């Protein structure tokens, strides 16, 4: 995957990443060329017919339909009408007036939150009195999240007859476990204990009617919320309130989809019934609010609203309001589940009311994802392991969801809209959020695109736009968020490596030439300004103490991850410089890369543990990100690579992948939190260090967990303790930076990578491990590069490569530690001890054939 400069310095590591080239087949032992050719052909002929289309998840259909009804609540007739099977009717009677406390009733609480600007800048208070003020819009909010018990006490000036009480809570803080007690003049008497509540409005009936002037609600658990696990109670009514249930239907689209929901209505009653939609990627976080929506994030209702007319109509959920500033919707959503309710916001009356009758006939989504039917694939992968095949196509589907047009109406709400990106195809980071192209995400999702659908303009548009917003001191912004000002320390380096990838896969040297001055300024101005006297990047220098990184980790000083990524970026930049005719820059950057690598090994290698320190400052810990990248970038020696990977295997393995830290000294869940983003370079490192089986095993734990847990298929932003969503409902469950299994399998297991711009030169180096056979196609500007290999059938390996015209490359075949014979097209190229063709070389683990020309070839490796 990296440039020829790095390849020449570390041929084993580099060739593992290199792109596919001419078709070469490794042939088993044979005394004659004809016999060798026939044995090779026989080995390849025994492979099953191609079946990769079976694993494809995407579709060319722009309108996507739900696959099942999950549940219904209230008065719902024929819910399957929403699947296109007739008409669904939602009905709800108008609620009766609520009982009220006597005038002068007061409330106190264990604590309450300070007043603030709310979620939208409107001054908001949270005193306990809000729970008895008769206003359902205000609420009591305790002071601290996840702090129990939290209690609310209501005192009436006169005794009240109570058959029970009713709690109306906030959908961002539903009390799940609580008790209701009354005061008998001497003691508190527990009337009811409630556990597992999920109802926003919960009627609590006492065993028998009680007359009391004081009631206490004691909460010991709240429903998890993206806004924190606070107790929030909007109103407590003195009586058992049994409003007609809100009629709702929950639909399942079978997997995460992205686009504009569309509902076909057959009509509605004349009393203006409203419809509210709540979206979620998982059932766990499906509530009466979406698990993330732009209006929710900005302090809005967290749902999309519509009031259907009396006549038939088709409504497409678009951003805007139906009636002035009332009955508003967000438009585009990324989700798997949608809850459609007959309901309305109080503030939307009279344009929309929470009762009446609504008839619906169909629900679909106008998909904005990149079409992903088999015919859209320009590259593909298949192997003898069905699980690996499925993970490859799941990741491709995830990437299709984030390949979308940049639009002001649905981009990340925190000042991310940019006129220079509007209307352009980009790689967003997630389907539901942040919906902003971050260059760190592009570093992975770009490769996934190049190897699957090959629409490189999506990456180019992002890379060029960020370069156009470069700061005067050379720093490159990570994304358009906060008007291109979000301070991240590592992302300018990802801009360098992503640009190198883009040129290698696309051949667009025009981009490289145009933005070469930006590259020079980043590497020769900004990063030197944060380099210390030992030659290492040190976060904290030049005012960078408050800068974040991909996970906003509180790291300071000399960090292995930053410096290993710096080495990779310098080597990638050197390759671009040579391709553009700037040898002096290439030499300077290559020399600096070697200097930084030496400093990493001098100051950040922990010989006691046998792994690289996360940071030279603070508690001793070892990070997945730094150790993986140190190996991929060629900083680590082969012995260090084996040792570091062994340490990670012993200290970070979880059933759902490898954690990104080996202890919890940096963050409280460091040894339990898993990022596919940082797992990808570790998996690469395992392939390239002769540990293909451990790479495959890690892939199966990580991607198997995501595949087998809700929402299934798509790749998560991050995984928390016990395999949970690491940031709760806020977590993106379809995230481009988690699709590294695609390049890991195509570049490393199959073994094909570009070594020159646009695959003018390429390399093929399989890392089979326990996989019996693999085949695939890699798109190039010259035409497809096809690779097939199989183990056994009388040979160590038989390999077929077909390379497009105008290209050439190197092929490195594994020897299994044996003395082998290598034949190309039946002719001996390596006779067990010496080269007879292709300037074949032996590094102890591979025989490399140099200068393989375009066309179709077979190579066979057999015991000498």
- Digit-coded pLDDT (tens) for 691-740: 999 999 999 999 999 999 999 999 999 999 999 999 999 999 999 999 99
Q: How confident is the model at residue 36 (pLDDT cuts 50, 70, 90)?
A: low
708-722 burial, b at 16+ Cβ within 10 Å, e below that, comes to ebebebbbbbbbbee
**553-593: pLDDT as tens digits:** 999 999 999 999 999 999 999 999 999 999 999 999 999 99
Q: How confident is the model at residue 34 (pLDDT cuts 50, 70, 90)?
A: low
Q: How high is the pLDDT of residue 120?
A: 62
- Give the mean model confidence (pLDDT) for residues 197-202: 92
Q: How high is the pLDDT of residue 497?
A: 98
Minimum mean pLDDT range among 195-199, 291-295, 671-675: 291-295
Q: How high is the pLDDT of residue 436?
A: 97
Q: How high is the pLDDT of residue 226?
A: 67
Distances (CA, A) of 756 to 299, 461, 850: 50, 22, 14
Asked whether residue 215 carries a pLDDT value surpassing 60, the answer given is: yes
34-60 burial, b at 16+ Cβ within 10 Å, e below that, comes to eebbbbbbebbeebeeeebeebbbbbe
Query: Helices in 436-486 by DSSP H: which ranges?
Result: 439-451, 457-468, 481-484
618 burial via Cβ count (<10 Å: 0-12, 13-18, 19+): middle
In whole numbers, what is the pLDDT of the chain averaged over residues? 93
Residues 6 or more apart in contact with residue 637 via CB below 8 angstroms = none
- Pairing outcome for strands 657-658 and 653-654: antiparallel
**748-758: pLDDT as tens digits:** 999 999 999 99
Q: How confident is the model at residue 297 (pLDDT cuts 50, 70, 90)?
A: confident
Q: How high is the pLDDT of residue 324?
A: 96
Q: Which region, left, alpha or beta, applies to residue 227 given φ > 0 means left and ψ of -120 to 50 means alpha?
A: alpha
Q: How confident is the model at residue 294 (pLDDT cuts 50, 70, 90)?
A: confident
Asked whether residue 1 carries a pLDDT value surpassing 70, the answer given is: no
| Residue keyed to tokens 């079946």 | 51
**CA-based nearest residue to 338, from 226, 413, 254:** 254
Helix (H) / strand (E) containing 382:
strand 380-383
Q: How confident is the model at residue 347 (pLDDT cuts 50, 70, 90)?
A: very high
Q: How confident is the model at residue 118 (pLDDT cuts 50, 70, 90)?
A: confident
- Give the mean model confidence (pLDDT) for residues 635-642: 98
Share above pLDDT 70 across residues of the chain, in percent, rounded to a whole number: 95
Q: How high is the pLDDT of residue 609?
A: 98
Q: How high is the pLDDT of residue 5?
A: 29
Q: Which region, left, alpha or beta, applies to residue 648 given φ > 0 means left and ψ of -120 to 50 means alpha?
A: alpha
Q: How confident is the model at residue 18 (pLDDT cuts 50, 70, 90)?
A: very low
Q: How far is the C-alpha of 53 from the C-alpha of 793, rounded, in Å?
A: 27
Global model pTM greater than 0.85: yes
Where is pLDDT greater, at 6 or 627? 627
Asked whether residue 480 carries a pLDDT value surpassing 50, the answer given is: yes
**789-837: pLDDT as tens digits:** 999 888 899 999 999 999 999 999 999 888 999 999 999 999 999 999 9
Q: How high is the pLDDT of residue 13?
A: 30
Q: How high is the pLDDT of residue 299?
A: 74
Q: How far is the C-alpha of 785 from the C-alpha of 776, rounded, in Å?
A: 8
Q: How high is the pLDDT of residue 382?
A: 98
- Give the mean model confidence (pLDDT) for residues 633-648: 98
**CA-based nearest residue to 534, from 447, 629, 600, 450:** 600
Q: How high is the pLDDT of residue 138?
A: 93
Asked whether residue 523 carries a pLDDT value surpassing 60, the answer given is: yes
Distances (CA, A) of 821 to 678, 766, 811, 857: 38, 17, 15, 16
Q: How confident is the model at residue 23 (pLDDT cuts 50, 70, 90)?
A: very low
């Amino acid at each position: 995957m990296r440039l020829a400069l790095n390849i020449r310095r570390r041929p084993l590591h580099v060739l593992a990443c290199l792109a596919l080239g001419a078709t070469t087949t490794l042939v088993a032992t044979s005394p004659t060329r004809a016999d060798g050719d026939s044995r090779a052909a026989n080995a390849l002929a025994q492979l099953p017919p191609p079946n990769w289309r079976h694993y494809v998840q995407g579709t060319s259909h722009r309108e996507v339909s739900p696959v099942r009804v999950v549940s219904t609540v209230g008065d719902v007739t024929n819910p399957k009408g929403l699947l296109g099977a007739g008409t669904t009717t939602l009905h709800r009677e108008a609620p009766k007036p609520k009982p009220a406390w006597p005038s002068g009733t007061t409330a106190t609480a264990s604590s309450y939150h300070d007043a603030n600007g709310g979620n939208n800048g409107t001054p908001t208070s949270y005193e306990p009195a809000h729970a008895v003020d008769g206003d359902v819009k205000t609420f009591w909010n305790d002071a601290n999240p996840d702090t129990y018990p939290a209690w609310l006490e209501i005192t009436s000036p006169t005794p009240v007859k109570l058959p029970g009480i009713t709690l109306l809570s906030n959908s961002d803080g539903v009390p799940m476990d609580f008790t209701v007690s009354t005061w008998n003049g001497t003691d508190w008497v527990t009337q009811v204990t409630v556990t597992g509540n999920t109802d926003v409005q919960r009627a609590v009936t006492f065993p028998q009617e009680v007359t009391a002037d004081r009631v206490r609600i004691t909460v010991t658990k709240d429903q998890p919320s993206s806004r924190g696990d606070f107790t929030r109670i909007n109103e407590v009514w003195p009586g058992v309130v049994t409003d007609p249930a809100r009629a709702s239907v929950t639909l399942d689209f079978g997997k995460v989809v992205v686009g504009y929901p569309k509902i076909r209505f057959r009509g509605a009653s004349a009393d203006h019934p409203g419809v509210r939609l709540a979206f979620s990627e998982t059932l766990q976080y499906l509530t009466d609010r979406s698990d993330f929506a732009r209006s929710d994030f900005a302090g809005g209702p967290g749902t999309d609203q519509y009031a259907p007319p009396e006549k038939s109509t088709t409504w497409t959920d678009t951003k805007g309001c139906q009636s002035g500033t009332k009955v508003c919707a967000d438009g585009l959503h990324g989700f798997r589940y949608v809850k459609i309710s007959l309901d309305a916001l109080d503030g939307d009356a009279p344009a929309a009311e929470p009762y009446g009758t609504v008839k619906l006939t169909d629900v679909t989504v106008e998909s904005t994802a990149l079409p992903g039917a088999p015919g859209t694939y320009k590259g593909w992968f298949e192997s003898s392991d069905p699980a690996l095949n499925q993970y490859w196509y799941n990741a491709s589907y995830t990437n299709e969801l984030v390949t979308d047009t940049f639009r002001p109406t649905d981009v990340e709400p925190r000042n991310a809209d940019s006129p220079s990106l509007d209307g352009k195809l980009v790689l967003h980071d997630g389907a539901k959020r942040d919906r902003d192209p971050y260059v760190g995400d592009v570093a992975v999702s770009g490769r996934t695109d190049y190897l699957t659908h090959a629409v490189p303009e999506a990456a180019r548009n992002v890379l060029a736009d960020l370069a156009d917003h470069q700061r005067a001191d050379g720093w490159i912004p990570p994304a358009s968020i906060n008007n291109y000002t979000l301070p991240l320390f590592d992302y300018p380096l990802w801009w360098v490596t992503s640009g190198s990838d883009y040129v290698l896969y696309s051949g667009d040297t025009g981009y490289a030439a145009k933005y070469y001055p930006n590259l020079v300024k980043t590497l020769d101005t900004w990063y030197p300004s944060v380099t210390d006297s030992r030659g290492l990047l040190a976060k904290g220098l030049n005012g960078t103490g408050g800068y974040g990184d991909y996970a906003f980790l509180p790291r300071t000083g000399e960090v292995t991850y930053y410096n290993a990524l710096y080495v990779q970026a310098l080597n990638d930049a050197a390759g671009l410089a040579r391709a553009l005719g700037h040898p002096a820059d290439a030499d300077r950057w290559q020399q600096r890369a070697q200097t930084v690598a030496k400093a990493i090994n001098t100051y950040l290698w922990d010989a006691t543990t046998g792994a690289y320190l996360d940071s030279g400052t603070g508690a001793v810990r070892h990070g997945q990100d730094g150790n993986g990248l140190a190996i991929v970038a060629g900083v680590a020696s082969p012995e260090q690579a084996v040792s570091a990977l062994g340490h990670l295997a012993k200290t970070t393995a979880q059933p759902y992948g490898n954690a990104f830290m080996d202890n919890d000294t940096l963050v409280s869940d460091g040894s339990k939190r898993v990022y596919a983003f940082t797992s990808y370079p570790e998996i690469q490192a395992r392939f390239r260090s002769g540990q293909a089986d451990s790479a495959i095993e890690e892939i199966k734990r990580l991607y198997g967990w995501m595949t087998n847990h809700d929402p299934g298929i798509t790749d998560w932003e991050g995984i928390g303790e016990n395999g949970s969503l690491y940031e709760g409902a806020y977590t993106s469950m379809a995230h481009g930076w988690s699709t590294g299994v695609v390049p890991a399998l195509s570049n490393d297991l199959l073994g094909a990578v570009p070594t020159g711009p646009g695959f003018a030169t390429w390399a093929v180096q399989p890392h089979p491990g326990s996989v019996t056979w693999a085949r695939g196609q890699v798109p190039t500007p010259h035409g497809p590069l096809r690779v097939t290999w199989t183990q056994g059938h009388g040979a160590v390996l038989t390999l077929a490569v077909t390379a497009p015209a105008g290209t050439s490359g190197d092929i490195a075949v594994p020897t299994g530690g044996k003395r082998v014979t290598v034949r190309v097209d039946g002719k001996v190229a390596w006779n067990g001890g010496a080269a007879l063709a292709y300037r074949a070389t032996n590094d102890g683990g591979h025989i490399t054939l140099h200068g393989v020309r375009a066309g179709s070839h077979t190579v066979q490796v057999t015991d000498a």
